[in-house]
Structure 1
Amino acid sequence: MEDTTKLNTSKLGTQQYWDDFYAVEKSNFEENPQDTGECWFDDSNAEEKMVDFMLDHLGQFCIDKNSSMIDLGTGNGHLLFQLHEEGFGGKMVGVDYSFKSVEFAQEILKTQYQDSDNFEFSAADIFDPNWQPPKFDVVLDKGTLDAIALSGLKMANGESIVQAYPEVIEKLTKKDSVFLITSCNFTEAELKQIIESESLQLWQSIKYPAFRFGGQEGSTICSLAFVKK
């Protein structure tokens, strides 16, 4: 059977692309502090739906207002900032392999959220075996697996970087931790194929407007929540 989870490579999967992108975003912000950069999947209201999902499932598994969270591929930190504005006050960590994105998120934090000490932004290679983070109540991914898949990179053992991704989630989660991911490159079935294991089980999906084409129904985006058993 054909592996539909394999994507063609693209410059969007390179660190240089994101360093250049966030250098421009940071420069724009310095000229206009109201310009906090692009909100990915804004046309689908994905970020709002992810935040609403968290609010709607308070008290379930490890989700509460004091949950510790890590945002993989945090970019400008927008998702974490939105969760903070909705009253989530636990430890919020944003990691990205683009140093420029981390600098940008730190600049936004310093100028707009200077009274908040629960944020931490840092550059990290999440596939580096020497990266040993703590475990979190909630792990977030908004488009990061999409970008990772476009890199075409492989691990030292020959495993694709997409195949290695669930191992990262395993490292970051404990019993009842929730992994919430949004993708525009993978279908729900493909995300389930990539992520689900004996210990990471599909829990919920977020509904988006569907379209019909050629007798098939689908969506341009999907968000799934997995729970660590």
Structure 2
Amino acid sequence: MEDTTKLNKSKLGTKEYWDEFYALEKNNFENNPEDTGECWFDDNDAEAKMVSFLEDNIGMHHIEHGCSICDLGTGNGHLLFELVESGFNGPMLGVDYSEQSIEFAKEVAQTKGLPVEFSAKDIFDEFWTPSKFDLVLDKGTLDAIALSGLTRENGKSLVELYSQVVEKLLVKGGVFLITSCNFTESELIKIIQTENLKVWNKINYPSFSFGGVQGTAICSIAFVKLS
């Protein structure tokens, strides 16, 4: 049976593409401070739904307004900024392998006076020893990683290694909330779930029917780290 979690390579999976993209967004922002960049999955209201999901689950696991948060593949930092505006006030870190995206996000944070930290990191670097967080977020990052087609020396793809990165970042009882437009719920679960990282909840989106099959254009799943 074909492995549907393997996607064809695309320029959207390259660092060069994102460096150029965020250099342009940074330039646009410098010319117009109201232009803080693109909000990915805005058509599906995904970012607002992720924020609402977290607000609705305050008190569950480690989700609190003061919880520590890491946003993987943060891009322009838009999701973290929205969380600040919604009352989340714990330490926040946005990481991205695109230095241009981090420069842009830092500039927005400084200009807007938002207390969010950003760092340019390769999350698959085995020598990266990050702090642990109560909450880890992903909005389209795994999608981009899957389009890179990259593997490590052991032959494993970055997609196969992704759950290890997430586990390394989470405290016991911490939550990983991921939103994807390239993978179905069952595919995401296949990629992310391990013995120590289990499905906890999900966000509901409007469904559609095509060829007699029900589905959604996007999905968001929350996982909890057991130990």
**Secondary structure of the corresponding residue to residue 209 of structure 2:** strand
Aligned identity (percent) is 64
**Secondary structure of the corresponding residue to residue 127 of structure 2:** coil
Q: Which residue of 1 aligns with 2:79?
A: 79
The alpha carbon displacement at 1:218 in A equals 0.2
Divergent runs of 4+, >2 A = none
Please state if 1:177 is matched with 2:174: yes
**Secondary structure of the corresponding residue to residue 50 of structure 1:** helix
CA RMSD in angstroms comes to 0.6
Q: Which residue of 2 aligns with 1:219?
A: 216
The alpha carbon displacement at 1:174 in A equals 1.8
Please state if 1:158 is matched with 2:155: yes
The residue type paired with residue 148 of structure 1 is: I
Gap runs ≥5 in structure 2:
none
Structure-to-structure mapping, 1:75-114, within 5 angstroms: 75-113=75-113
Structure-to-structure mapping, 1:44-83, within 5 angstroms: 44-83=44-83
Gap runs ≥5 in structure 1:
none
Q: Deviations over 1:27-80 (max 9, x none)?
A: 000000000010000000000000000000000000001000000000000000
Q: Which residue of 1 aligns with 2:25?
A: 25
The alpha carbon displacement at 1:19 in A equals 0.2
Q: TM-score, normalised by structure 1?
A: 0.98
Structure-1 separation of matches of 2:90 and 2:170: 16
Q: Which residue of 2 aligns with 1:207?
A: 204
Residue-pair matches, total: 226
**Secondary structure of the corresponding residue to residue 12 of structure 2:** helix
The alpha carbon displacement at 1:203 in A equals 0.5
Q: Which residue of 1 aligns with 2:42?
A: 42
Structure-to-structure mapping, 1:6-25, within 5 angstroms: 6-25=6-25
